[in-house]
Amino acid sequence: MEPSADMPHGIKYALTLHNRYGKRLLGFDNAHAIKPPKKFKHAGKKYPFDHVHQHVSDKGRHYEFDTPDKLLSDFFAAVDQAIKELGP
């Protein structure tokens, strides 16, 4: 993809981890805009950018995209942490 205001790096991605019931446990994406929390000056507006969801009800928080390699490394490190926290 060509770089744009929404995707300055020119890559569209969605990396997710789901449980066996299809419930998302973790997600890294830039597929949709997120609303900043109400405590921020621009609450109510939606801003497209890279973000991470750390649980099923998480609306997303900013993720600083650097390179595709770093994205994959960060995602798999977060997968390892999520699996560790879930336990056996």
Average pLDDT over residues 54-83: 88
Asked if 22 and 56 touch (Cβ cutoff 8 Å), the reply is no
Largest CA distance in the chain: 43
What is the reported pTM?
Answer: 0.74
Residue 63 lies inside a defined structural domain of this protein = yes
Dist CA 60 CA 56 (whole Å): 10
With beta carbons less than 8 A apart as the criterion, state whether 30 and 3 touch: no
Tell me, yes or no, whether 38 lies in a domain: yes
Number of domains in the chain: 1
- 35-58: per-residue pLDDT in tens? 656 665 555 555 557 888 887 777
Letter string b/e over residues 9-47, b meaning 16 or more CB atoms within 10 A of that residue's CB: beeebebebeeeeeeebbbbbbeeebebeeeeeeeeeee
Name the residue range of residue 33's domain: 14-86
Domain presence at residue 2: no
In a domain, 6, yes or no: no
